[in-house]
């Protein structure tokens, strides 16, 4: 059952000094992203909260002691991603941490500004494009990391529906979310393969928060029923604990490229709650051919190519 019972738990106190580091955290105005930004700033990092709503971002930044600024970024718009990446490139010659945290879960059928199914577009194509546009700012930096916030939901989706990526024939919001989270892992592992083959200083790592009680769960089926939200809070990680997996993936000196961190407490054979440890993802998330096909399609859809 891991360190939750037999050893010392990894906590935010284990985050090493981050002085001098530049960290970009998407979707950091609430929930997991906010807690991630808070801890990184407390450890001395210069943190950029990259969010769609800059007013909410500014309100969040005001609650975090330290060097925290706000960058407008809508991951559902390739134009916004390119604009944000350009502004970040102008401001920073180097980036130490790019934490792709922002996402949506189980919304009604919607599309992004570019016509992509909302979950696939926001959770995968947006971070894919942003990473590709910023990666050369990380490549020369020793210890730099790209961190993807994935999910145990990657287990619910069998493969990638290349014949209907945008769910135009039919829409299942749970399966669509699973596909987007499987895409996060396929992307991370393929990025790591490309980085390691070029002997770059940057690594790609993934994390998942288990089931955490954040605003991301607002579209969960049944969540609107009386008492469900209260019950959910009793059987899920808090945002503070859920963010620990991301923080460990981003800062633990022992982390290696291509690893995956998440809660250690086993429920129904995989972690749902608890503090983070090195965990495993499904065999299909490590499917090299599937990852390469997804990479090619993602480049075609976004128009973004990578310097690796």
Instruction: Flag whether 308 is in a domain.
Output: no
CATH number of the domain bearing residue 85? 3.40.50.720
Helix, strand, coil % over all residues of the chain, rounded to 5:
45, 15, 40
Let me know the angle formed at the C-alpha of 42 by 37 and 43, rounded to the nearest 5 degrees. Answer: 100
At 273 the pLDDT is: 67
Place of tokens 């290696």: 256
Instruction: Flag whether 182 is in a domain.
Output: yes
Q: What is the pTM of this model?
A: 0.89
Residues 6+ positions from 270 with CB-CB distance below 8 Å: 152, 155, 279
Q: φ, ψ for residue 131 (rounded to 5)?
A: -60, -45
Determine the Cα–Cα distance for residues 235 and 299; give it in Å rounded to an integer.
39
Instruction: Flag whether 3 is in a domain.
Output: no
For 231, the domain range is 15-302
Query: Minimal CA–CA distance to 139: which of 76, 194, 180?
Result: 194
Is-catalytic flag, 177? yes
Q: How many CB atoms lie within 10 A of CB 95?
A: 25
At 106 the pLDDT is: 93
Instruction: Flag whether 275 is in a domain.
Output: yes
Determine the Cα–Cα distance for residues 17 and 21; give it in Å rounded to an integer.
9
Q: How is residue 292 written in tokens?
A: 């390469």
Looking at 177, 189, 260, 261, which residue is catalytic? Answer: 177
Instruction: Flag whether 10 is in a domain.
Output: no
Instruction: Flag whether 250 is in a domain.
Output: yes
Count how many domains the chain has. 1
At 102 the pLDDT is: 97
Ranges of beta strands (E only) in 27-94 are 46-51, 68-72
pLDDT tens, per residue, the chain with 308 residues: 344 444 579 999 999 999 999 999 999 999 999 999 999 999 999 999 999 999 999 999 999 999 999 999 999 999 999 999 999 999 999 999 999 999 999 999 999 999 999 999 999 999 999 999 999 999 999 999 999 999 988 888 778 999 999 999 999 999 999 999 999 999 999 999 999 988 779 999 999 998 745 444 444 454 444 433 443 444 456 889 999 999 999 999 999 999 999 986 554 334 466 789 999 999 999 999 999 999 999 999 999 999 99
Give the strand order in the sheet containing 46-51. 68-72, 46-51, 22-26, 97-100, 145-149, 203-207, 260-267, 270-278
Instruction: Flag whether 155 is in a domain.
Output: yes
Cα 194 from chain centre: 19
Instruction: Flag whether 4 is in a domain.
Output: no
Q: Cβ distance 53 to 76 under 8 Å? A: no
């Amino acid at each position: 059952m891991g360190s939750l019972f037999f050893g010392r738990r990894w906590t935010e106190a284990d985050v090493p000094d981050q002085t001098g580091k530049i960290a970009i955290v998407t979707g950091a105005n609430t929930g997991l992203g906010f807690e991630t930004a808070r801890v990184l700033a407390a450890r001395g990092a210069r943190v950029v909260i990259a969010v769609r709503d800059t007013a909410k971002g500014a309100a969040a930044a005001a609650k975090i002691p330290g060097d925290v600024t706000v960058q407008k970024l809508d991951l559902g718009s390739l134009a916004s991603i390119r604009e944000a990446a350009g502004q970040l490139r102008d401001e920073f010659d180097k980036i130490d941490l790019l934490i792709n945290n922002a996402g949506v879960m189980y919304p009604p059928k919607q599309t992004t500004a570019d016509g992509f199914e909302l979950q696939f577009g926001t959770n995968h194509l947006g971070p894919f494009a942003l990473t590709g546009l910023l990666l050369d700012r990380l490549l020369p930096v020793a210890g730099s990391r790209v961190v993807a916030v994935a999910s145990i939901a990657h287990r619910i989706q069998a493969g990638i529906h290349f014949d209907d990526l945008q769910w135009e024939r039919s829409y299942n919001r749970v399966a669509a979310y699973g596909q987007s989270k499987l895409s996060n892992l396929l992307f991370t592992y393929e990025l790591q393969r490309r980085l390691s083959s070029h002997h770059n200083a940057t690594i790609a790592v993934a994390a998942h928060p288990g089931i955490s009680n954040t605003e991301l769960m607002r579209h969960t089926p049944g969540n609107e029923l009386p008492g469900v939200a209260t019950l959910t809070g009793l059987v899920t990680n808090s945002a503070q604990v859920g963010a620990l997996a991301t923080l460990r993936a981003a800062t633990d000196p022992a982390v290696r490229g291509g690893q995956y961190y998440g809660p250690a407490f086993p429920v129904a054979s995989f972690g749902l709650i608890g503090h983070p440890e090195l965990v495993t993802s499904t065999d299909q998330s490590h499917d090299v051919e599937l990852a390469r096909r997804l990479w090619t399609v993602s480049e075609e859809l976004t128009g973004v190519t990578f310097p690796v």
